[in-house]
Every structure is written in C-alpha cells, then in structure tokens.
Amino acid sequence: MGKRKTDPAGLPMVVAICAFHVENVRKHLHHNMAQLADDEYFVQLDRPVTSAAEEVAAEVGAAGGTMHVLGTTGGLSASRNLMLARWPNHHVMFVDDDVRLDAKAVTAIRESLRAGAHVAGTRLARPPLPLPWFVTSGQFHLLGWHRDDRDIKIWGACMAVDTAFAHANGISFNLALSRTGGNLQSGEDTTFVKMMKDAGAREQLLPDCSVTHDVDPARLTLRYLLRRAYWQGRCEAGRGQARAGLRKEWDRHRTAPESRWRLPLACLYGAVTGWGVLHGLLRR
C-alpha cells in the first residue's frame, strides 16, 4: 500500500464492521470484501470469545481482513468509540454487521472523504422481501431503511467519518444513547453527525448510491416494531427533544402513501412512541 502519510486522504479507508451477530459476519464476508479496493476491512465483535467467534475470525483473516473479539459486550457506542481510538487519523466507514456493501457506494464514500467531506453516508435500501401489513414505509426508519420518497439522513448502519476531525473537536459517540443488551436505544449516530456539523464538519449525502440493510426476520414482527417505537420515544426524551421527536415520528408514520393502514398504524406506533417519551421523561 506504500508509505503511510499523516493526512487521512493518503491512508487506506478503514471499513469498520461493528458486529454483534457473528453469523452475520460470516454471511456477508465474501460479498463485502469483493466490494472493496485498497480499503482495510476490520471487524470488531462486541461479544465474549467463543469457538464460533474464533472460527469466523480465522475466516476473516483468510479473506484478507482482520477480526477482533472484544471478549465482553459494551454496546454499540462503546464499540464505535474504540474504532475512533484505534484509527485517530483515518477515514473510517462504519458498517453494521447486517449490511451488504456495494462497490459503487464504497467508492463514492471514499472519494467524498478524500475530496474534503468529514462525514458521509449513502442510502440504506431494504432487501427484496414481502412485508407484513403492519410494516409500511412509515416504519422503515425503525428497521434502518431509507424511504424512496424522502431525502436521506446519515445513519450508523453506513456512516463514514474523518476521525482526525472528530478527535480535533472532542467528538465521540454518546454512551447513553447506545444500543446495549436488551434495550433498543438509538440516536447515537444522528447525534454524532449533529455534533460534527455543529463543529463545522462538511456533510456529504450520497442518495444515488445505496447499500442493502438486511434484517433478521424476527424484526419483521409487530412486537419488535412496537418495542423499537417505544425505545425511539425513550431516545427522543433522552436527547431533550420530546415534543419535536413525537411530531417527527407522527409525520413519518402517517405519510406512508402505499398503505390504507397508514392512519391506524400512525396512531398505534405514535401512542407507543409517546409512552416511551413519557417513560423517558419520568426517568430523567
């Protein structure tokens, strides 16, 4: 790869997989590796050491990447902060373990960062699978999918960062918003992006490029989505934007153009989100 420089633009981009499900690492390994150029591929497993984890780590190594098993579960924000510390002067592309990369998207992100962007992200597309009646485009954000009829935001499932800028401005991922264990907390990604932009970072949205965000079939259940809606409310309360957050969620749920169920579903998901907000406020 040649002699490394202190300028992040002169270093290989790091594709950093913050993983929790070891089976997803194996499932997407060879596809994802084939989408890279001279990028480093690093998997960090936020789990205890097991024989299954060690087997997959060996497979990642044989494919040309690196996998590190943390040995404990610290949560998503803590895992991402370890990545920031490991590469303090690099371009790091954070990717969830259930994302299938695309070479066009990886190239666009790499070029955006080297052209001066400090934070960048692509569209997160859903896989081609049938959806139950209680999942409309109004609930796509609960599953980590961007809607085709809306502008995208940078979400953590595929988010690239100039770590030198983050370190220079003391920016890290909020541990209080981290998904850890049984909770479905969220918002550490968008909060991070906001802090970057508030510090003067240049944001680059790449809506014409996409990666596919696979989901565990267990998430396509009403029970899971209602839990996510509740934790979304907890997140909005934790970020001090309860009223604005509720308004945002109501708008998302009620504007699904393809479904006659949109208003009943908006009321259902909205009520559960409201309960999450209330519970979050009472716990503060």
Enter the pTM of the model: 0.90
pLDDT in tens, the chain (284 residues): 333 345 677 789 999 999 999 999 999 999 999 999 999 999 999 999 999 999 999 999 999 999 999 999 899 999 999 999 999 999 999 999 999 999 999 999 999 999 999 999 999 999 998 999 999 999 999 999 999 989 999 999 999 999 999 999 999 999 888 777 666 778 899 999 999 999 999 999 999 999 999 988 888 999 999 999 999 999 888 888 889 989 999 999 988 887 788 899 999 999 999 999 998 888 87
Residue 2 confidence (pLDDT): 34
Q: Which residues are within 8 A (CB) of 257 and not within 5 positions of it... i.e. 6 or more apart?
A: 137, 149
Instruction: Count Cβ atoms within 10 A of the Cβ of residue 48 and give its class: 0-12 exposed, 13-18 middle, 19 or more buried.
Output: exposed
d(CA 164, CA 129): 39
C-alpha dist (Å) from residue 238 to 176, 185, 234: 8, 10, 6
Residue 240 confidence (pLDDT): 85
171 sits in which H/E element: none
Residue 1 confidence (pLDDT): 33
126 sits in which H/E element: none
Report the Cα 61 to chain-centroid distance in Å: 24
Structure tokens that stand for 72 in this block: 């404990």
Q: Phi and psi at residue 169, in whole multiples of 5°?
A: -110, 10
